[in-house]
Amino acid sequence: MMKLPMQALAGLLSLLLFLIPTHQNFGQSKNRVVRSSNTSSGAIDSSAALNNLATDIRSLLTMSSELKSGSVGIRVVSLRNGKSLFDLNSEKPLTPASTTKLLTTYSALLLFGSDYEIPTILYGAVKPEKGIIKGDLFIKGHGDPLFSVGDIDELIVKLKSAGVKRIEGDVVGDGTYFDSVYERKDYSGDADHVVDLPPVAALGIENNMVTVVVSSSRTAGQLCNVQTFPPSSGFVIANSAKSYAASKKKSTTKKKRRRRSSLEEYIPDQSIPKASIGRFGDEEYFDEGRENVEEGIAISLTTDEDGRQTIHVSGTLGVNKTVSKRYEIKNPPAVVAGMFFDRLRTNGIEITGAVRTGATLQKAVPLAEFRRPLTQVINTVMKQSHNHYAEYVFKMIGAASGSGKGENATATQARAAIRQCMEASSAPFESCVVNDGSGLSRRNLISPQALVATLVAAYNNRPLWKALYEALSVAGKDGTLRKRMKGTRAEGNVHGKTGTLKNVSALTGYVTSADGEMLAFAMITNGYNVGTYKSVENKVAERLADFSWNEGKAVPE
């Protein structure tokens, strides 16, 4: 059995301590008013209220073939007393799509804590003497998926503030906190293609995507200018493209497109991708940038045995024009090291060595660090259903859970750690399977029962629950639920995580009933009519928001 480090064990111990007084914590959130279960004429018949709820939910389930095949699972639990309000095939594991992210996020918060910050650290091979590091400079990443050009500049400012003026060695990019298997489809074992994701590396930059911008001069026959964002000597540029004088055409009514004046204008916003319209906002898509590889210009990227990418640009481009396209960065640590090397020199710090990748020396001296709150990443993972960042969190879980060996060590450890977190949370997980952190794997299998048990365990761990609850999408307000359940009691009430793949739809989260009682629920449907399933999910959540124990008829006391 995998052994967890002290940090992870502390997280699990924290969970167990919170689970001891389980029931007395239910239903006591701030500003919550819970109606009395008694009326002046007698006690409420709770069985009648539950029968009404069950009848209504079953009437909403119009997917007859899925019901017959057992491809629909639902579970609803009261957080006041832990009792089940509705259950249908909840123990059966189904393909969960992005509701997998609930387990990924919960496990990360449990293991790291809600106040954890992801570090990116600069080390010197030795302590600087009189502003000189007589050895290599290492930049070690720990899985910050949002690491950017601006963050590198902040580290350089801190390095200069420490008095460093000269580095007598190499700049080394260290991505060894994760294993070297960067592609989700490789470490998840998926055979079928779902969605392409950029590499998942412990040390990366700008979502591990590079924009190649090719600009022609105003004079025909001149070599085109090739730039990249992020700019880095970690790339090799092989450019033979030239400008040519295009033949003049008669003017048309269309206005001529203004030539953009700077590289930055060609860089797409890479911070948080928009949810894809028409897919209920759950499948992240990549904006591949402007496909303007035209007029005979060809751009291609190759990777050598050392992982260095060469950008090949050839062909011709009409004078005074610019085209651009985005590509994956195949070796992110090398690009970060190259970028750091370039910007150190720009900032007046001398370097005698070269750019390379490798592991930080055990006796290296920390010089500066940049930290990113884990909750900042998790909020994007949950609200935007960000697949790429979810895989980062998945690998962070694995990296923190031991120093395993093998090609897929980090992913293997992550799967084992998530299972341990589920078992420690009393979630029924024996038949469940988690192969990745995002839920893109169609081989993932999670039951509604396991999802609800995770929500219950999170609710009982108040510091963790606050971070998780705030990260969930809010119906009719934000994230992947922003257009759903508007104009109902569920709007602004349901906090949930959606799940969408071809032939899969799911919704899990929290809803407060008409009595002010918080409920945890999960619904997964596997089948061909995803649009119908989404509509049913909305109606079920709306019915839960309308639920009241006062629906039961009063009986004599």
* Contact predicate 225/311, CB 8 Å: no
- Residue 499 has what pLDDT? 98
Identify the CATH class of 119-186+334-373.
Answer: alpha beta
Residue-by-residue pLDDT tens, the chain, 557 positions: 445 555 555 555 554 444 444 433 333 333 333 333 444 444 667 889 999 999 999 999 998 899 999 999 999 999 999 999 999 999 999 999 999 999 999 999 999 999 999 999 999 999 999 999 999 999 999 999 999 999 999 999 999 999 999 999 999 999 999 999 999 999 998 866 677 899 999 999 999 999 999 999 999 999 999 999 999 999 999 999 999 987 655 545 554 555 554 555 655 554 444 433 333 335 443 444 334 445 589 999 998 887 789 999 999 999 999 999 999 999 999 999 999 999 999 999 999 999 999 999 999 999 999 999 999 999 999 999 999 999 999 999 999 987 656 677 999 999 999 999 999 989 999 999 999 999 999 999 999 999 999 999 999 999 899 999 999 999 999 999 999 999 999 999 999 999 999 999 999 999 999 999 999 999 999 999 999 999 999 999 999 999 999 986 654 45
Burial class (CB in 10 A: 0-12, 13-18, 19+), 2: middle
User: Which of 455, 457, 437, 349 lies closest to 397 in space, CA to CA?
Assistant: 437
Q: Measure Cα distances from 132 to 63, 343, 365 in Å.
A: 70, 17, 13
Q: What distance in Å separates the CA atoms of residue 100 and residue 501, rounded to the nearest whole number? A: 12
Residue linked to tokens 């057992």: 70
Please state the φ and ψ torsions of residue 39, each to the nearest 5 degrees: -125, 170
* Contact predicate 85/452, CB 8 Å: no
> pLDDT tens digits, residue range 200-237?
999 999 999 999 999 999 999 999 999 999 999 999 99
> H or E segment at 519?
strand 518-526
Which of 164-203 are b and which e, b meaning 16 or more Cβ less than 10 Å from the residue's Cβ?
Answer: beebbbbbbbbbbbbbbbbbbbebbebeeebeebbbbbbb
* Contact predicate 206/149, CB 8 Å: yes
Domain spans of the chain, in order of start: 119-186+334-373, 206-247+259-328
- Residue 172 has what pLDDT? 98
DSSP assignment of 358-415? -PPPTTPEEEEEEEEEHHHHHHHHHHS--HHHHHHHHHHHHHHT----STTHHHHHHH
- Residue 408 has what pLDDT? 79
Q: Is 306 in a helix, a strand, or coil? A: coil
> pLDDT tens digits, residue range 379-388?
999 999 999 9
Q: What distance in Å separates the CA atoms of residue 468 and residue 201, rounded to the nearest whole number? A: 25
Total residues found in the chain within this entry: 557
- Residue 247 has what pLDDT? 66
User: Which of 69, 61, 187 lies closest to 535 in space, CA to CA?
Assistant: 61
Q: What distance in Å separates the CA atoms of residue 429 and residue 93, rounded to the nearest whole number? A: 9
Residue linked to tokens 């909020």: 379
Residue linked to tokens 């969605």: 195
